[in-house]
Structure 1
Amino acid sequence: MSLLQAISYKDPAGFVVKLEDGYYRYIAPDYALEFDHLSESGLYQNLVEQELMIPHAEVLLDDKFPGYYKKIFPQQLAFISYPFEWSYAQWQQMLLAYTRINKLSLAHGMILKDASPYNFTFHNDKCVLIDTLSFSFYKDGDPWIAYRQFCEESLSPFLLMHYKDPLWSKLYRGSITGLPLPFVSSHLPFRTRFDVFCLIHIHLHSRFSNDKKDKSETTRQGLNKEKLNILFETIIKNVLAKKQPLLKNSIWDHYYENDIESEGYIIAKTEVITKWLAEIRPDVTIDLGANTGKFSRLASQFSKSVYAVESDAYCVDEIYKSNMQIKDNNVTSILADLADPSPGLGWHNEEKSPLLKRLKGEMVMALALIHHLCLSRNLPIPFVARLFSEMTTQYAIVEFVPKEDPKCKLLLQHKGDIFEYYTEEDFINSFEHHFRLIACHPFEKSLRKLFLWEKL
C-alpha cells in the first residue's frame, strides 16, 4: 500500500489512511516520545473525558506501512465539517476549545504545535480536536511556536466575522491556509486599532508578517508557563466578550413565529413528519434548509444523528446555541448553500473533500425548500431530485410548494413566471426517476403537500 492513499499526510509525525474497515492513523517513530507522553501523562484521558478530543484505540501494527511506531483507530466520525461550514458561534467555540486544550496541555508539559482550525470539527455540535499528533513538548522559556498561525488561520477570520460580516468565513474556501495579517489589518475597522487585543495580535503583528524571522514579541521571546497561561486566559476573555457579530442581517429570524402559513399548518406538518420518522427511524437524517432547527430537533428523537444544513449563518448560530443547551444532543449544524456547496480543495482537489461527498444519510428532509432552489436559484426540478437521491441511501421527505403559494408569488414578483416546468406533475415525474412514492399528505387551507419517497 502506498502513502499516496493517505488522507492526512503533511505532518511528518504520522498520517491518516482509509483502509477496508475505516480510517486509521499511523504514528512515525520520530513522534514516539510525544505520543507516549500524551498517553501516559494523563493528558489524553483528560481531554477525552472533557470531550475536547476524539478517543482512539491502539491496534496491532501490520505490514501495510512497515517501520511505523504505532497504529491507532480513532473514533469514526460520519461527517467532518470544515471551517468555512461553521457559523460565528462555532468559530468562537473552536477558539475556546483550542485555548482550553493548550492550558490543559501546559499542565502536562505539552502544547499544541500548530493552530489550524482544520484540526477541529463539530460532532453533535461539540467542538473536538481530531488530530492526535498536534502535541509537542513544552518547557519554560520556549516560544509559542503556533502563535503566527493562530493569528492568521484561527483568530483573523473570527475577528472579520465579528466586526464585518459572518460571511467572511467563506474566504477560507479560497485560502485554506489562512489570511495574511496585512490583509486582515487593512479590512478591520479603524476603531479596532484602539482595541488592545486587536492591536497586538493583528495590527502590530501584521507589520512583521513579511519578515521571515517574525520579530513579534510573542514569538521572538520565550514565555514561561505562567505568562503563557495568562496569555491564553486573555484570549479566552476577549473571544467570550465578542458574543455575536456586530452585523445582524437575517431574513429568517422568527420564521416559524411570523412567516408560516397558519398554526394549523405547522401542527399538521409536525404530526405527519413525526409519524413517518417514527415508522422509519433512520440512523442518519439530513435536514436540508433547516432554518432554525425545529424539524432537526424533531428528527433527533427518531435518529441516531441529524445534520442540520442551512445557508443562513444566523440561523446556524441559533441552531448551534440551542443544541448546546440540550443534554446528549445528537444534532450537528452545518453552514452550507446547496446551490453552491463546498468543493474539493487543496492538493489535487482532494485534501478537503467536497460537501456532497461527505454528506450522506438514510433520510433526507427538504421542508419548504424546493421552491427556493428552483424559483430563486433557477435549478430545474430533475437536478434537485438527483441531488437528493445522491444524499440519501433510503428515504426522502420533500415538501412541494406550488407557484400559486403566497411565498412563491413573492419569489416571482420581480422575475416573472419563467418556470414552465415547475409543477406538481413535473415534481412527481422527476422524483420517480430515483424514488418510489410511499405517501402524500395535503394540508387543509394550504396548497402545499408533503411527499414520502423511498429510493429505488
Structure 2
Amino acid sequence: MSLLQAISYKDPAGFVVELEDGYYRYIAPDYAKEFDHLTGSGLYQALIDQELMIPHTEVLMDDKFPGYYKKIFPRQLAFISYPFEWSYAQWQQMLLAYTRINQLSLAHGMILKDASPYNFTFHNDKCVLIDTLSFSFYKDGDPWIAYRQFCEESLSPFLLMYYKDPLWSKLYRGSITGLPLPFVSSHLPFKTRFDTFCLIHIHLHSRFSNDKKSKSGKASQGLNKEKLVVLFDTIAKNVLAKKEPLLKNSIWDHYYENDIESEKYITAKIDIITRWLSEIRPGVTIDLGANTGKFSRLAAPFSKTVYAVESDVYCVDEIYKSNVQTKDNNITSILADLADPSPGLGWHNDEKSPLLKRLRGDMVMALALIHHLCLSRNLPIPFVARLFSEMTTQYAIVEFVPKEDPKSKLLLQHKGDIFEHYTEKEFISSFEQYFKLAACHPFENSLRKLFLWEKL
C-alpha cells in the first residue's frame, strides 16, 4: 500500500485512502493532540448531535501505514458532491454550517484551520463537514488563519452568485482553489462598495492582498474569542439575509402547472411509475433531469436513496428547499448537466473525481429528457443508451418523446429536422444493446411512451 493511492493527501495531519471494504482516514502523530481534544472535549459529539459532521469509529491500526497515530472509519457516503454541483441555497447552507461549526469549536478551544468548501458535502441534502482533521487549537489573540481562504474560496463565489448570477458557481470547475479577491472585487456591482459586509471582506480585503507590505486583512489579525464569535455571527446573519439571488430567470418555472401535455397524461405517468417503483424498490434511484423534483419525491418512499440531478440552478434550489423541510428526507439534489458533466480536476486530474464516476444507482429515471439530450444537444441515441447503462446496475425508466411531439417541435423550430435517426425504432434498438425491455406504457392522446428497461 502506497500513499500514491490516497484519496486525500494534501493535509500533513493525515489522509484518506480506499481499502478493500471502504474509505479510511489515517491520522498522523503530529495531529494526535488536536484529534484527542476534538473527541475528548465534547466538540465532536456536539457536531454529531447537530448533524454538522459525519461520524466515525476508531478501528485497530494495521501495518499498511506504520507510524501513524490512529485509523478511523468515517460513515461511508455513496456520493460526494462538489461546490460547482451546488445551487445557491446549498452554498448558503454551507456558509451557515461553516460559521456554526466555528462557533461550537471556539466554545471548546478550537477553530477550523481552513475554509475550503470541498471539506463539505450534501447527504440527504444536509450540509456536513467531511474533513475530521480540519480543527486546530485556538487561544485568545490568535488570528483567524483561514480568513483569506474563507473570503476567496467560500464567500466570494456566494456573493457573485447573489449579485450577478447563480451560474458563477461553475467557475469552481476552472479554479478549485477559489477566485482571487481583486478579480471578485472588480466583478461585483459598484453598489457593493457601499455595503459594509462586501466592503470589508471583499473590496478592502482585496487591497490588503495586493499590498506587499501587508500579509493579511484586518479581520485575520488577532481577535479575542468574544469578538471572533461576534464576527462569525455577523457573517451568518449577512449570508442568511441574502435569501435568494437577485437574478432569477428559469425557463422551468411552473413547468408542471403550465407546460405538461395534460392533467390526464401526468396522472397516468405518476400511476405507472409508482407501480414500477413499488414493485422494484431500488436501493439508489437517480432522477436525471429532475426539474423541480416531482418524480424524485415520488421515488423517495420506494428507494433508500434518491439523487435528483438537474442542470437548472433554480430548479435545484426548489428541490433543495423542499427537501430540507421534509422529515427523514432521503433525496440529495445535484446541479449537473449530463451533456457537460463535471470532469476530473486537480492533481493528475483525479484529485476531484468526474461526476459520472461518482454517480451510480440501481435505477435511472429519465422522464421527458431524451428529446432535450438528442434534439437540443445533438447527442445520438446510442450515446444516451450507453450512458444510462453505465449509471445503473439494474433498471432504467426512460420516456421517449418523438419528434412529432409539440415540445420536440419547439426544440426543432430554429434548427430544422436534422435528426433522421431520432426515431422510436432507433431508441429501442439502441437500448436493447444494454437492456431488455421489461414493460412499455403508451399514453392516451399523447405520442409519448414510458419504457422500463432491465439491464442485461
TM over 0.5: yes
Contact 2:59 2:72 in 1 (8 A): yes
Q: Match for residue 115 of structure 1?
A: 115
SS at match of 1:426: helix
Q: Match for residue 417 of structure 1?
A: 417
**1:322-371 CA distances to partner (integer Å, 9 max, x unpaired)?**
00100000000000000000000000000000000000000000000000
Q: CA deviation at 1:379?
A: 0.1
Residue 418 of structure 1 aligns with an amino acid whose one-letter code is: I
SS at match of 1:454: strand
SS at match of 1:208: helix
1:360 correspondence with 2:360: yes
CA distance in 1: counterparts of 2:388 and 2:239, whole angstroms: 38
Residue 112 of structure 2 aligns with an amino acid whose one-letter code is: L
**1:233-277 CA distances to partner (integer Å, 9 max, x unpaired)?**
100110011000000010001100110000000000000000000
Residue 246 of structure 1 aligns with an amino acid whose one-letter code is: L
Contact 2:148 2:217 in 1 (8 A): no
Residue 184 of structure 1 aligns with an amino acid whose one-letter code is: V
Within 5 Å, which residues of 2 pair with 1:11-410?
11-211=11-211, 213-219=214-220, 221-410=221-410
Residue 140 of structure 2 aligns with an amino acid whose one-letter code is: D
Q: CA deviation at 1:49?
A: 0.8
SS at match of 2:57: strand
Percent identity reads 88
CA distance in 2: counterparts of 1:259 and 1:225, whole angstroms: 54
| Larger deviation, residues 204-213 vs 340-349 | 204-213
Residue 312 of structure 1 aligns with an amino acid whose one-letter code is: D
Residue 65 of structure 2 aligns with an amino acid whose one-letter code is: F
1:7 correspondence with 2:32: no
**1:273-307 CA distances to partner (integer Å, 9 max, x unpaired)?**
00000000000000000000000001001000000
> Where does the alignment leave 5 or more consecutive residues of structure 2 unmatched?
none
CA distance in 1: counterparts of 2:187 and 2:216, whole angstroms: 23
SS at match of 1:207: helix
Q: CA deviation at 1:211?
A: 4.2
CA distance in 2: counterparts of 1:230 and 1:358, whole angstroms: 39
Q: How many corresponding residue pairs? A: 455
Residue 91 of structure 1 aligns with an amino acid whose one-letter code is: W
Residue 218 of structure 2 aligns with an amino acid whose one-letter code is: E
SS at match of 2:383: helix
Residue 28 of structure 2 aligns with an amino acid whose one-letter code is: A
Q: CA deviation at 1:210?
A: 3.2
SS at match of 2:209: coil
TM-score (norm 1): 0.99
Residue 118 of structure 1 aligns with an amino acid whose one-letter code is: Y
Residue 219 of structure 2 aligns with an amino acid whose one-letter code is: T
CA distance in 2: counterparts of 1:50 and 1:454, whole angstroms: 41
SS at match of 1:77: coil
SS at match of 1:136: strand
Q: CA deviation at 1:218?
A: 1.3
Residue 129 of structure 1 aligns with an amino acid whose one-letter code is: L
CA distance in 1: counterparts of 2:74 and 2:371, whole angstroms: 41
SS at match of 1:301: helix
Residue 123 of structure 1 aligns with an amino acid whose one-letter code is: H
> Where does the alignment leave 5 or more consecutive residues of structure 1 unmatched?
none
CA distance in 1: counterparts of 2:218 and 2:253, whole angstroms: 44
CA distance in 2: counterparts of 1:205 and 1:211, whole angstroms: 10
CA distance in 2: counterparts of 1:164 and 1:445, whole angstroms: 43
CA distance in 1: counterparts of 2:216 and 2:144, whole angstroms: 13
Residue 111 of structure 1 aligns with an amino acid whose one-letter code is: I
Contact 2:382 2:430 in 1 (8 A): yes
SS at match of 1:169: helix
CA distance in 2: counterparts of 1:439 and 1:215, whole angstroms: 64
**1:168-225 CA distances to partner (integer Å, 9 max, x unpaired)?**
0000000000000000000000000000000000000001223465242112x20001
CA distance in 2: counterparts of 1:95 and 1:325, whole angstroms: 19
Residue 115 of structure 1 aligns with an amino acid whose one-letter code is: A
CA distance in 2: counterparts of 1:137 and 1:257, whole angstroms: 54
SS at match of 1:222: coil
Residue 237 of structure 1 aligns with an amino acid whose one-letter code is: K
Residue 168 of structure 2 aligns with an amino acid whose one-letter code is: W
CA distance in 2: counterparts of 1:41 and 1:286, whole angstroms: 40
Contact 2:148 2:216 in 1 (8 A): no
CA distance in 2: counterparts of 1:209 and 1:252, whole angstroms: 41
**1:90-128 CA distances to partner (integer Å, 9 max, x unpaired)?**
000000000000000000000000000000000000000
**1:61-105 CA distances to partner (integer Å, 9 max, x unpaired)?**
000000000000000000000000000000000000000000000
| Larger deviation, residues 432-441 vs 201-210 | 201-210
TM-score (norm 2): 0.99
SS at match of 1:25: strand
CA distance in 2: counterparts of 1:5 and 1:237, whole angstroms: 41
Contact 2:284 2:304 in 1 (8 A): yes
SS at match of 2:264: helix
Contact 2:17 2:24 in 1 (8 A): yes
